[in-house]
Homo-oligomer: A and B are copies of this chain.
Amino acid sequence: MFQFKLLKKDASCGARLGRIHTTHGEINTPVFMPVATQGTVKSLIPETVRDLGAEMILANTYHLYLRPGHEIIKKAGGLHKFMNWSAPILTDSGGYQVYSLGAFREIKDDGVIFKSHIDGSMHFISPGLAIEIQAALGSDIMMCLDECTAYPASFQEAEKSLALTVNWARRSKAAKKNHGQALFGIIQGGIYPELRLRAVEDISKNIGFDGYAIGGLSVGEPKEEMLSITQLTAPLLPDDKPRYLMGAGTPEDIVACVDYGIDMFDCVIPTRCARHGLLFTNHEKVVIKNAQYRDDDSPLDGTCDCYTCRNYSRAYLRHLFMAKEILAMVLNTIHNVRYFMRLMDRIRAAIRDGRYKEFKNSFLAGSNTVIGQQTSIE
């Protein structure tokens, strides 16, 4: 079962309020999906992820295919049961990880050969196999295998890459059997508006999917390119299907792209930043290792309702981080995920109240981004 209801469009801009119905429950959009790369939102038990407000998570097909293997997960009753998460799951196709992690890859018409980042073993993945793996995982939303166009890429390269993605999208749809799972198409085309338009035409009109993702962004292009391509592409997609901006983003990116009509986001930023001691608050971004927090008895964010802010001081969080304690990662992740979930609450409330443009302008004016295109947090 998969259904998307568009509940409201903000009159002042492109922002949309919606609801996705799946076999594993409802998702209120705009939604942010915490990332559970290897079948766990790093450091948290699933009940905590749910309590923080997450309605859907993303898991990575590439990682789970290599380890423990999709057959093991299938035998265990699917990914929901394996990882003890009963709410909806979106799985990517593995295409992006082949592109970003594969030490060796060779792209052929019918799929891609890649080398495992774990043990160097060679693998071949086709659009059909990507569907088969995701069917074994039993995710609620599957993604088509695509080629993530590199940045920079010439028009000709991007055009050739797009043709492959469209071809694979067709094969992916043909390979899909289980009607309980939705399948999303991916719009590629690099930074070329003409190609993005063509991709929308081919993927959404000529083939047709349950939802559409904008891919190939946040891969090294300037932030303005990411924003302008999203602004151009999103409104061209069918109104009655969810729109997903893959791999985005910072709080500022999310707030900006909701305005362009994006309904779904996923990003490792809240979880990865947490593990590196970078914490989001409504007032400032806190680098918890800084000496100024040594004896700071105040909570991380006095306006936050999360377990971490209700029970611990900045001094204790700094102590745990400096002492390299696992609990530092747990408490920091709880806070950052909750920050993103509360941000989505505020976004949905603003759309509901018809004041999204105002919310966006105010948020972006007050924002003090420390994670820009140039800030590596690896």
| 9-residue interface stretch from A24-32, A94-102, A127-135, A320-328 | A320-328
| 9-residue interface stretch from A36-44, A209-217, A367-375 | A36-44
| 9-residue interface stretch from A1-9, A51-59, A172-180, A306-314 | A306-314
**Contacts known (A38-B323, A40-B327, A325-B40); A316 close to B82, Cβ less than 8 A:** yes
Please report which residues of chain A, range 308-358, place their CB below 8 angstroms from some CB of chain B when the two chains form the complex: 311-313, 315-316, 318-320, 322-323, 325-327, 329-331
| Neighbouring B residues of A315 by C-beta, 8 Å | 68, 72, 76, 82
| Neighbouring B residues of A45 by C-beta, 8 Å | 307, 327, 330-331
Query: Which of B75, B77, B295, B312 is the one whose CB lies under 8 Å from A75?
Result: B295
Min CB–CB distance A276 → chain B (angstroms): 13
Q: Once bound together, how far apart are the Cα atoms of A326 and B39, in whole Å?
A: 12
| Neighbouring B residues of A311 by C-beta, 8 Å | 84
Query: Which of B63, B68, B312, B330 is the one whose CB lies under 8 Å from A326?
Result: B330
Copy tally for this chain in the complex stands at 2
A334's closest neighbor in chain B, by CB?
B45
**Contacts known (A67-B322, A322-B68, A330-B330); A316 close to B43, Cβ less than 8 A:** no
Q: Once bound together, how far apart are the Cα atoms of A43 and B333, in whole Å?
A: 13
Please report which residues of chain A, range 75-129, place their CB below 8 angstroms from some CB of chain B when the two chains form the complex: 75-77, 82-84
**Contacting pair A42 B294 (CB below 8 A):** no
**Contacts known (A68-B294, A318-B68); A43 close to B76, Cβ less than 8 A:** no
The answer to whether the Cβ of A297 comes within 8 Å of any Cβ in the partner chain is yes
A42's closest neighbor in chain B, by CB?
B326
Q: Once bound together, how far apart are the Cα atoms of A285 and B280, in whole Å?
A: 42
**Contacting pair A83 B316 (CB below 8 A):** yes
Min CB–CB distance A137 → chain B (angstroms): 13
Min CB–CB distance A325 → chain B (angstroms): 5
**Contacting pair B323 A76 (CB below 8 A):** no
**Contacting pair B75 A316 (CB below 8 A):** no
Q: Once bound together, how far apart are the Cα atoms of A315 and B82, in whole Å?
A: 8
**Contacting pair B297 A75 (CB below 8 A):** yes
Min CB–CB distance A310 → chain B (angstroms): 9
Q: Binary interface profile of A, 190-208, with partner B (CB < 8 Å = 1, else 0)?
A: 0000000000000000000
Interface centre among A40, A76, A322, A331 (most CB of B within 10 A): A40
A41's closest neighbor in chain B, by CB?
B327
Min CB–CB distance A131 → chain B (angstroms): 22
9 pairs, CB–CB < 8 Å, chain A vs chain B: A42-B326, A43-B330, A68-B294, A68-B315, A68-B318, A72-B319, A75-B297, A82-B315, A84-B316
Closest 3 CB pairs of A and B: A43-B326, A68-B319, A40-B327
Q: Known pairs A40-B325, A45-B331. 15 more at Cβ < 8 A? A: A38-B319, A38-B320, A39-B316, A42-B325, A44-B327, A45-B330, A67-B322, A68-B318, A75-B297, A76-B297, A76-B313, A76-B315, A84-B312, A326-B330, A330-B330
